[in-house]
Structure 1
C-alpha cells in the first residue's frame, strides 16, 4: 500500500523540526493508501480533506518523560475510527501469536469511534504516540474534512502529582505573568456556569478585551454593550458563579479558552499599581 509522508512544522518538507516549535499546521488531501503526518511541535492541527485510505499520525513527545498528548477530532459527515498503535506484550503472547507480528510488531487499540466533534482524549506516555485515523462511512455530497487538533503538556508521574495544583489561586507574580503572556486577557463578569463531564463551562459577559487570539468573544446583538463567550475549567476545581467584575486570563487550547488566573478586577488593579510602582511589571499595562 502506498505511503504518503508529511512532516508538519512551519513548512511541509521532509526534514526534522525541533520539538520546541510552537505550532504544526498541516493540510492533507487526495491520494490513496496511508498518509503519514509527523507532528514535531507542542501543539497544532492536521486537516484531512476528502479522506480515503488511512491517516497515520505520529506525535513526537517532548524530551521530558510522562508527557501527555490531548487531542480532539472534528468531522463533517464522516464517521471515523481512531486507533492507537501499541507494542504487544511479549509475556502475553504465545510463540505462535508473536510470530504473526514479525512484519507488524504493533497492535491497534481503538480509542474513538464516531463523527462530529469528539470529547477531549488524553494519552500519557514517555514515547511517541502513533494514531491511525480511518473513515468508516460518510456523505457523498460536498467536501469531507477530518480535523485533528492536539496539544502536548508535561505531566508528572501519578505519585508526584498534586491533582488540585491547577485549582489553587494565583500568586501575585503569577497574576502579573498571566496578564502579560496569556492568550486572552479580558474584563468581564460571570453569567452562568455549567458542568459537563470533567469540564466546567463558564459563560461570561466581556466589557473590555485587552488581548485575545481568534474571535471567541462576539456580540450577540448589534445594540449590546458586552461581548459573550465561554471559558472552560476543570470540573474538579468546583467553579461556581460569582458576582462582581473579574480580570479573566488563560490560554487557547484545542479550540477552547481555558481559564488561567481570574482575580477580581479591584484586587488586580491594586496588584498592578504596586507592581508598576516597584518596577515588577513585566509589560506595559493596556
Structure 2
C-alpha cells in the first residue's frame, strides 16, 4: 500500500479538473477511457453535497471537497468536519480510500457487497489534509462498470445531533434526548412532525428500522418528506433509525424531530407530545425557550 501511495504522489501524468463535469461544481461525471492506465485525475468539488460517477474506471481519481460555503455555516460544529459517502448499489470497478495526512485507509472494496449502498462517514480536524481516492481495479473488461456515490459534507454534530449513520455514533443515536436537547431540536432539526407510529419495519441487511408515521401536524420540513394521502388531513412519511435502537410500534402521539440525510428522514428526538408540551411550557414560564412553536 505504501509503495502504491508513493507511486501516486510522484506520478508524472497528472490531470487536474478544477470543478465538476460540464461546469457543475457539485457533481462530477467522467470516463476512465480518457485516462492512461497509470494516471491520476484530480477533481475539486465545491459544494456541500453532490454526486460522483466514474464510468469505465481506469487509473485513479483523487477527489478533494473544497466547499465555497464556509464550514462554520454548515451546522453546529465542534471543531471537526464530517463527510458521509453513500455508494451506489451497483458500485463496481474501483476501490474507495480515505486519504488523511498522507495515509490511505480502505473505505469500500469492490467485492464488499454488504457495504454497497450503505452510508460511510468519517471526520477530521480542520488542519488535517483529507481527500477521497478511487483506484480502478484491474479488469480485462471494464465495460458496464460504474463507480458512483453521493456525498454530504457538514461540520460535526453533537449528542443527538450526531449523524446516526456512523458506527461511532450508534450509542448517541439511540440515547433518549434530555430536556435541553429536545428544546434545541425543535429549533434546529430539518423536520418537526407531530404524529403517530403506524408500523415499524426492520431491514436487517441495511441495519435500519423504518418508522411509518401518520402526521397530524407538520411544523417544519426542510424537504417534502410527509405528503397528504388523497383528501386526508393527515400526511404520511417514513423516518429511519439504526436497527440497534430497537424501535417498536406503540400508541400515542409523538413529536418526531431529526435530520434529512441523502433524501431520507433520520430520527433525532421523539418525545411523547404530552411530555414535550410539559417541558416546553415549563421552559416558556422561565423564559428559557431557544425558539417558539405553536402548541395545541
TM-score (norm 1): 0.66
Gaps of 5+ in 1: 14-24, 88-104
Matched, 1:247 2:287: no
Q: Distance in 2 between matches of 1:242 and 1:223?
A: 26
**Equivalent residue runs for 1:23-42 within 5 Å:** 26-29=26-29, 32-33=34-35, 34-38=40-44
Cα deviation, 1:202-252, whole Å, max 9, x if unaligned, reads 111112111111222223x42233222111112222111121111000111
Q: Distance in 1 between matches of 2:158 and 2:133?
A: 20
Answer whether contact 2:196 2:253 (CA < 8 A) is retained.
Answer: yes
Q: Distance in 1 between matches of 2:268 and 2:105?
A: 36
Answer whether contact 1:86 1:107 (CA < 8 A) is retained.
Answer: yes
Structure 2 partner of 1:119? 118
Q: Distance in 2 between matches of 1:109 and 1:145?
A: 15
Q: Distance in 2 between matches of 1:38 and 1:173?
A: 39
Aligned length: 243
Structure 2 partner of 1:81? 94
Answer whether contact 1:6 1:35 (CA < 8 A) is retained.
Answer: no
Structure 1 partner of 2:212? 203
Structure 2 partner of 1:182? 189
| One of 62, 86, 111 as aligned partner of 1:72 | 86
| One of 56, 64, 67 as aligned partner of 2:62 | 56
Answer whether contact 1:29 1:51 (CA < 8 A) is retained.
Answer: no
TM-score (norm 2): 0.64
Q: Distance in 1 between matches of 2:157 and 2:283?
A: 30
**Equivalent residue runs for 1:191-270 within 5 Å:** 191-197=198-204, 198-219=207-228, 221-270=229-278
CA pair 112-182 structure 1, distance change in 2 beyond 3 A: same
The alignment partner of 1:113 has SS state of coil
Q: Distance in 2 between matches of 1:122 and 1:223?
A: 40
Cα deviation, 1:143-200, whole Å, max 9, x if unaligned, reads x9944223464799xxxx7963332221111111000111111111111112224322
Answer whether contact 1:185 1:247 (CA < 8 A) is retained.
Answer: yes
| One of 277, 284, 288 as aligned partner of 1:276 | 284
